[in-house]
């Protein structure tokens, strides 16, 4: 049976099955390689519109969605943080109903995960979570595609996460659980992933033979890993916590000494933007093992594939 995502929303990466994730990657890889030429891609969504609702600034997410829609023959309409103020100027449901009567899909980068859920429930059109304070499913799709391109069979790969147990970590946990991968997480004790996400990932992992381990020892997490992944210590909106967080995360920097604990051919991921000299050093980010910019490119390919499947 053909796999279809037509008309579907993506609020959590766990909204997808393993087979659906593989289909997104199949389409992404075909488009990326040129197997599906641009002339054919342009016929996927001619005249279709995607609203981008962002309450935080963005480079990769906005760039990926705008370029993707152009390459599919459609249009992306960007609403900046000052334009949106969703839930402030008017109820989320009212904005959702207006959007649903005007555009074909919505990509929402909103702090409150509940607002994305409300958009998906009330708009009547597909809604893609382009990042919330709970999850970043589009990032997870690009992350594991990058790992597979570099390392092959994901069930044979050891992935280490070092840093904050926040939204990117949450989606990484869930996609690793869905795909039967092995993930070791090291965070300061006060910055662990949220309990409900850990519980959900553990439930999925029981069915897929995935392994999700959570601790506070960065050296132990990285030892023997094929992939070392980190993110900023101070995410947007947390600036007032910056001093405290920099103290909490001492010992969690991905530097040459930590990377030497991983396998010699390990790759390094970072969802970017990076705070160089904090969670990662220049030597590592600019070094030969870094795949963060492959990862950033794959944001375009996976987001374009996702839109093609949703709008096609």
**Is the domain of 97 the same as that of 176?**
no
Two structure tokens written together for 236: 């947007």
The answer on 281 and 211 residing in a single domain is: yes
Q: Are residues 129 and 144 in the same domain?
A: no
For 76, the token pair is 């992306």
If one counts every other C-beta atom within 10 angstroms of the C-beta of residue 306, the result is 28
Domain span at residue 244 reads 139-295
- Claim to verify: residue 252 and residue 148 sit in the same structural domain: yes
Residues with a known catalytic role: 109, 136, 139, 231, 271, 299
CATH (domain of 83): 3.40.50.1370
For residue 234, tell me if it sits in a domain.
yes
147 and 100 share a domain?
Answer: no
Starting at the edge strand that comes first in sequence, how are the strands of the sheet with 127-131 ordered? Answer: 75-79, 49-54, 105-109, 127-131
25: buried, middle or exposed (CB in 10 Å: 19+, 13-18, 0-12)? buried
Q: Give me the pLDDT at residue 255, please.
A: 98
Structural domain contains residue 4: no
Q: Does 43 share its domain with 104?
A: yes
Cα distance between the two ends of the chain = 17
Domain boundary among 107, 134, 161: 134
Total domains present in the chain: 2
Question: pLDDT value at position 242?
Answer: 82
Domain boundary among 134, 152, 180: 134
Give the list of residues 6+ apart from residue 136 with CB closer than 8 angstroms, or none: 129, 167, 168, 170, 171, 271
What is the structure's pLDDT at 40? 94
- 156 domain residue, yes or no: yes
**Shared-domain flag, residues 283 and 147:** yes
Last residue of a domain, one of 134, 169, 193: 134
pLDDT of residue 241: 81
Is 121 in the same domain as 48? yes
pTM, whole model, 2 decimals? 0.96
Q: Which helix (H) or strand (E) holds 19?
A: helix 18-33
pLDDT per position in the chain (312 positions), as tens?
478 999 999 999 999 999 999 999 999 999 999 999 999 999 999 999 999 999 988 999 999 999 999 999 999 999 988 887 888 888 999 999 999 999 999 999 999 999 999 999 999 999 999 999 999 999 999 999 999 999 999 999 999 999 999 999 999 999 999 999 999 999 999 999 999 999 999 999 999 999 999 999 999 999 999 999 999 998 767 777 888 999 999 999 999 999 999 999 999 999 999 999 999 999 999 999 999 999 999 999 999 999 999 998
Tell me: do 273 and 157 sit in the same domain.
yes
Same domain for 100 and 181:
no
Note whether 206 and 147 are same-domain residues.
yes
């Amino acid at each position: 049976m053909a796999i279809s995502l037509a008309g579907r929303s993506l609020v959590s990466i766990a909204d997808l099955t393993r087979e659906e994730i593989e289909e997104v990657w199949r389409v992404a890889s075909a488009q990326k390689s040129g197997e599906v030429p641009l002339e054919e891609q342009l016929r996927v969504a001619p005249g279709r519109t995607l609203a981008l609702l962002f309450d935080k600034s963005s480079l990769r997410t906005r760039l990926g969605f705008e370029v993707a829609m152009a390459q599919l023959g459609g249009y992306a309409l960007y609403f900046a943080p000052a334009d949106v103020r969703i839930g402030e100027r008017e109820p989320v449901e009212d904005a959702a109903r207006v959007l649903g009567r005007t555009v074909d899909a919505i990509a929402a980068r909103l702090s409150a995960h509940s607002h994305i859920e409300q958009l998906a429930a009330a708009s009547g059109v597909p809604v893609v979570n382009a990042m919330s304070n709970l999850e970043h499913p589009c990032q997870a799709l690009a992350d594991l595609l990058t790992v597979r391109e570099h390392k092959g069979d994901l069930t044979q790969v050891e992935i280490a996460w070092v840093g904050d147990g926040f939204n990117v970590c949450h989606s990484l946990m869930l996609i690793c659980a869905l795909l039967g991968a092995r993930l070791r997480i090291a965070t300061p004790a006060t910055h662990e992933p949220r309990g409900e996400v850990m519980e959900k990932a553990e439930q999925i992992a029981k069915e897929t033979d995935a392994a999700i381990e959570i601790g506070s020892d960065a050296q132990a997490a990285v030892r023997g890993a094929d992939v070392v992944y980190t993110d900023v210590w101070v995410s947007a909106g947390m600036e007032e916590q910056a001093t405290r967080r920099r103290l909490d995360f001492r010992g969690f920097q991905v530097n040459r000494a930590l990377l030497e604990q991983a396998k010699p051919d390990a790759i390094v991921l970072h969802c970017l933007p990076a705070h160089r000299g904090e969670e990662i050093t220049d030597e590592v980010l600019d070094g030969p093992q870094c795949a963060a910019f492959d990862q950033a490119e794959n944001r375009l390919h996976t987001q374009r594939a996702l839109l093609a499947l949703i709008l096609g």
